[in-house]
Amino acid sequence: MDVSHLLDGMNDRQRDAVSADERHMLVLAGAGSGKTRVLVHRIAWLIQVMQYSPMSIMAVTFTNKAAAEMRGRVEQLLGRDVRSMWLGTFHGLAHRLLRAHYQDAKLPQNFQILDSDDQLRLVKRILRALNLDEKQWPAKQAQWYINGKKDEGLRAEHIDAFDITDKTLKEVYAAYQEACDRAGLVDFAELLLRAHELLRDNKYVREHYQKRFRHILVDEFQDTNQIQYAWVQMLAGTQNYVTIVGDDDQSIYGWRGAQVENLQHFLRDFPSAETIRLEQNYRSTNMILQAANAVIANNEDRLGKELWTDGADGAPISLYGAFNEQEEARYIVSRIMQWQEQGGALSDIALLYRNNAQSRVLEEGLLYAQIPYRIYGGLRFFDRQEVKDAVAYLRLISNRNDDAAFERVVNTPTRGIGERTLGLVREAAKNEQTTMWRAAQQLVNEKILTGRARTAVTGFLTLVNELEEATHAMSLSAQTDKVLHGSGLLAMYQAEKSDKAETRVDNLKELVSATETFVPTGEEGMTPLAEFLSHAALEAGEEQADAHQDAVQLMTLHSAKGLEFKLVFMTGMEEGTFPSLQSSAESGRLAEERRLCYVGMTRAMEQLVLTYAETRRLYGQMNTHRPSRFIGELPPDHVENVREHVRVETPSQSRSRFHTGVSHESFVETGFKLGQRVLHSKFGEGTVLNYEGTGSQSRIQVNFATGSKWLVVAYARLTAL
Ligand code: ATP
Ligand code: MG
């Protein structure tokens, strides 16, 4: 059997790791040194050389996207499918376990996943039910508390509460959990905790999986939390082998309970583990790598790793200081256009930022220049209001006891069920220890609700029942389509007649296409609808509508972990933005911000551009900032200040310069005459007023009904009328 392709092109240390005998292993290495690649090849090695069945391997990654990529690469190496291998995120795998053993986990068969938005609503409801003032007891804080305790593996009854704050939060946790259990809802943290308890308390289930998974492999181990590590230990038992890969310098989820100490705990708990260090970086140019190394060197308490590359020196890091965030966006757009002109693909570009809210201005700049882009996180498809509304109807059809879904759509579209009536339903649900659906039924049956309220609530209950009856035999997409119409959601957004409403209608339609392309695995006891709903909650947004289009990638620094791009922009490099204001006061949090900076920089393969704005309007406030301290930590000879080399102009400045003698040339450049009528897909019809610039930079001023606009000709896709 020829297995050389599993080791080809690897360095010695990588080969050692891929072809090691059966043993526990820790691969500890810096960014871009091939950790993930080693993991992929190791899995292929286990299957092809060591003759393990894919069934006996469990591999854990940080995102669903990473898992899909990993599966694809393993299949490519082996030339066969490895569907039976458990590969996914901790949450995804926990979910799978709970579905398979729902009874042992004391869950109803049709349990649903509660995402963090719905969780917050439910927490708010609990606070109201306990008569706690939300000003004094913010729902977010309670949510944080609950998830934190769950990540530590603690149930409310295990918590020792001494002061009034702890006692109250503990009470909220207990009441919240009761409500979840009653309604068959499982939040993200609960997935892990419940699966952990299942393995811990059920000898049969535990031994079954311990026998099955002979090899457990975990990527990005530095960002595991306590319960995730406990999971790994439990499944490892005494006979199985664990391989973890990680980088302490890339631990960026401490704020969410991740424990970089797990790396040391692993060496303590698996003393026979061999540590393999990889030191050659294959991703970035020398410039980028040295600059990243210089920044992270400012942190203390590092495990210490060398990282070098024999690749090209590459271009220096570009630094651009803008006046404000608008100008920052304009500069970035101009760099992107330059990249395109040189034949670069848009999908090789990433725009990274510290906070989701920073994306809006960048998006506007890209939209204006008609550069396609995709967003990871933030505006996730399944997180959008209208999509959540539609999904809530589907969830209710699948499970009437889903209180979160009930609350969401009982009066959407409005059907005259006011806060007072809802209050009665909540109260009854609380008193009777039952779900809102049942409580509503009861209030109707016992004629406690009267008049219009009774009619309205009855109408809603009947609607959901009828929708189920009418659609249960339909295909998933026909069912979804019918629900969109039958619920009145589509009509509601269609009637709204605003730009936003139009997008919402499009999104609802997109939901039907999502159900069309969704392939259920046909897991026992699960309807396609139930499978789709789990998918919607778990994979929110990782797959967007225009996944196949060549597009610039926008994401937070956090979600860029593990990825790589030829050209990377790190935007908003200002004190108070990055590092964030809260973190700059605390050394621990500052160190984590610096690791985040290291993660961001090491995503870049060829070019890295850092930008900052002297003033920035964010969350509706204008602030002046100094450049980020991380900029000051870069080796000066690795940085090129590009401010003086570029000309970013406002249309009025450039108009005066190009005022005379360009009309003829511009006609050749743009193909439009002054005074000509043109059509734009978004702004409608207009008249050409002016030109400026040449080549792909040439711009055209058009007077539309909504006012005059400067457009980049190459991207505006104007049609002559
Ligand atoms: P991160 O810490 O960012 O997750 P990583 O250590 O997981 O990085 P990989 O993503 O596995 O690194 O590898 C980085 C890049 O280097 C990838 O493009 C990978 O294909 C490439 N690479 C890894 N090892 C080699 C090698 N021996 N020869 C050529 N390219 C390699
Ligand atoms: Mg990796």
Q: How far is the CA of 88 from the centre of ligand 2 (A)?
A: 14
User: How much is the pLDDT for 649?
Assistant: 42
Q: Based on the domain organization, do 600 and 714 belong to the same domain?
A: no
Phi and psi torsions of 548, nearest 5°: -100, -5
Q: Based on the domain organization, do 205 and 81 belong to the same domain?
A: yes
Q: Based on the domain organization, do 355 and 486 belong to the same domain?
A: no
Residue at 263 is within a domain: yes
Which residues is 304 bridged to in the sheet? Answer: none
The letter for the amino acid at 693 is G
User: How much is the pLDDT for 506?
Assistant: 75
Q: Based on the domain organization, do 42 and 156 belong to the same domain?
A: no
Q: For ligand 1, what atom is nearest to the CA of residue 602?
A: 3
What residue has token string 């918590």? 159
Ligand 1 site-directed mutation target among 26, 37, 293, most atoms within 8 Å of CB = 37
Catalytic-residue membership of 574? no
Among candidate residues 603, 616, 699, 709, the one labeled active-site is 603
Residue at 107 is within a domain: no
pLDDT at residue 523 greater than cutoff 80 = no
Ligand 1 site-directed mutation target among 8, 14, 36, 277, most atoms within 8 Å of CB = 36
Rounded (to 5) percent helix, strand, coil in the chain? 50, 15, 35
Residue 297 confidence class, pLDDT cut points 50, 70, 90 = very high
**CATH code of the domain in which 640 resides:** 3.40.50.300
**What one-character DSSP code corresponds to residue 497?**
-
Q: How many CB atoms lie within 10 A of CB 643?
A: 13
Q: How far is the CA of 251 from the centre of ligand 2 (A)?
A: 12
Q: For ligand 1, what atom is nearest to the CA of residue 278?
A: 6
**What one-character DSSP code corresponds to residue 106?**
T
**CATH code of the domain in which 494 resides:** 1.10.486.10
User: What SS3 state is found at 118?
Assistant: helix
Spatial CB neighbours of 366, under 8 Å, sequence gap ≥ 6: 333, 336, 372, 373, 552
CA distances from 390 to 220, 377, 443 (A): 35, 20, 26
Residue at 9 is within a domain: yes
Residue 367 confidence class, pLDDT cut points 50, 70, 90 = confident
Q: How far is Cα 650 from Cα 654, in angstroms, rounded to an integer?
A: 6
Q: How far is the CA of 238 from the centre of ligand 1 (A)?
A: 32
Q: Based on the domain organization, do 302 and 353 belong to the same domain?
A: yes
**What one-character DSSP code corresponds to residue 703?**
E
User: How much is the pLDDT for 55?
Assistant: 96
Asked which of 10-24, 436-450, 661-675 is least confident by mean pLDDT, the reply is: 661-675
Q: Which ligand is nearest to the CA of 249?
A: 1
**CATH code of the domain in which 121 resides:** 1.10.10.160
Q: Based on the domain organization, do 164 and 300 belong to the same domain?
A: no
Q: For ligand 1, what atom is nearest to the CA of residue 220?
A: 4
* Exposed / middle / buried, residue 198 (Cβ in 10 Å: 0-12, 13-18, 19+): buried
Domain boundary at 158, 183, 208, which? 183
In which domain, by residue range, is 75 found?
Answer: 4-98+193-278
User: How much is the pLDDT for 662?
Assistant: 32
Catalytic-residue membership of 482? no
pLDDT at residue 84 greater than cutoff 70 = yes
Residue at 531 is within a domain: no
Q: Which residues are annotated as a binding site for ATP?
A: 29-36
User: How much is the pLDDT for 369?
Assistant: 87
Identify the residue whose C-alpha is closest to ligand 1 atom 27: 10
Tell me which of 227 and 374 has the higher pLDDT: 227
Q: Please indicate whether residue 310, judged by its CB atom, sits closer than 6 Å to ligand 1.
A: no
The letter for the amino acid at 476 is L
**CATH code of the domain in which 686 resides:** 2.40.10
Catalytic-residue membership of 250? yes
Q: How far is Cα 426 from Cα 423, in angstroms, rounded to an integer?
A: 5
Number of domains in the chain: 5
Q: How many CB atoms lie within 10 A of CB 244?
A: 27
User: How much is the pLDDT for 546?
Assistant: 53
Q: How far is Cα 361 from Cα 692, in angstroms, rounded to an integer?
A: 24
Catalytic-residue membership of 75? no
Phi and psi torsions of 325, nearest 5°: -70, -25
Residue 673 confidence class, pLDDT cut points 50, 70, 90 = confident
Among candidate residues 13, 14, 36, 403, the one labeled active-site is 36
User: How much is the pLDDT for 658?
Assistant: 32
Q: Please indicate whether residue 330, judged by its CB atom, sits closer than 6 Å to ligand 1.
A: no
Q: Based on the domain organization, do 209 and 61 belong to the same domain?
A: yes
Residue range 169-180: average pLDDT?
Answer: 96
User: How much is the pLDDT for 531?
Assistant: 86
Would you call the peptide bond into 372 cis, given omega within 30 degrees of 0 as the criterion? no
Q: Which residues are annotated as a binding site?
A: 29-36
pLDDT at residue 453 greater than cutoff 70 = yes
Would you call the peptide bond into 413 cis, given omega within 30 degrees of 0 as the criterion? yes
> Which tokens hold the place of 251?
């631990």
Residue range 74-86: average pLDDT?
Answer: 94
Element (H, E) at 350: strand 349-353
Domain boundary at 595, 610, 645, which? 645
Ligand 1 site-directed mutation target among 283, 348, 564, most atoms within 8 Å of CB = 283
The letter for the amino acid at 376 is Y
Catalytic-residue membership of 279? no
Q: Based on the domain organization, do 491 and 598 belong to the same domain?
A: no
Residue at 58 is within a domain: yes
Among candidate residues 220, 247, 389, 542, the one labeled active-site is 220
pLDDT tens-digit series, residues 597-614? 999 999 999 999 999 999
Q: Based on the domain organization, do 90 and 216 belong to the same domain?
A: yes
Distance of CA 512 to the CA centre of its chain: 22
Q: For ligand 1, what atom is nearest to the CA of residue 247?
A: 2
Q: How far apart are the first and last CA of the chain?
A: 66
User: How much is the pLDDT for 211?
Assistant: 97
Domain boundary at 278, 294, 320, which? 278
Tell me the H-state helices in 446-586. 451-471, 476-486, 489-496, 499-517, 528-538
Residue range 648-673: average pLDDT?
Answer: 42
User: How much is the pLDDT for 637?
Assistant: 94
Per DSSP, the chain holds a count of helices (H) and strands (E) of: 28, 21
Q: Please indicate whether residue 358, judged by its CB atom, sits closer than 6 Å to ligand 1.
A: no
Asked which of 152-156, 331-335, 468-472, 504-508 is least confident by mean pLDDT, the reply is: 504-508
Q: For ligand 1, what atom is nearest to the CA of residue 29?
A: 6
Residue at 693 is within a domain: yes
Asked which of 79-83, 109-113, 427-431, 702-706 is least confident by mean pLDDT, the reply is: 702-706
Catalytic-residue membership of 61? no
Q: Please indicate whether residue 7, judged by its CB atom, sits closer than 6 Å to ligand 1.
A: no
Q: Based on the domain organization, do 83 and 209 belong to the same domain?
A: yes
pLDDT at residue 581 greater than cutoff 60 = yes
Q: How many CB atoms lie within 10 A of CB 517?
A: 8
Long-range pairs of 206-214 with CB within 8 A, sequence gap ≥ 24 = 206/234, 206/237, 209/97, 209/235, 210/235, 210/236, 210/237, 210/239, 210/240, 212/55, 212/56, 213/56, 213/57, 213/58, 213/86, 213/240, 214/52, 214/56, 214/57, 214/239, 214/240, 214/241
Residue range 416-439: average pLDDT?
Answer: 92
pLDDT at residue 377 greater than cutoff 90 = no
Asked which of 17-26, 374-383, 518-527, 549-558 is least confident by mean pLDDT, the reply is: 374-383
Q: Which residues surround ligand 2, an ion (CB under 5 A)?
A: 35-36, 562
Identify the residue whose C-alpha is closest to ligand 1 atom 21: 282
Q: For ligand 1, what atom is nearest to the CA of residue 563?
A: 3
pLDDT tens-digit series, residues 154-168? 999 999 989 999 999
Spatial CB neighbours of 682, under 8 Å, sequence gap ≥ 6: none
Tell me which of 717 and 378 has the higher pLDDT: 717
Q: How far is the CA of 301 from the centre of ligand 1 (A)?
A: 25
Q: Based on the domain organization, do 556 and 628 belong to the same domain?
A: yes
Q: Based on the domain organization, do 310 and 412 belong to the same domain?
A: no
Residue 498 confidence class, pLDDT cut points 50, 70, 90 = low
Name which of 581, 539, 147, 61 is nearest 354 in CA terms: 581
**Mean of pLDDT over the chain:** 88
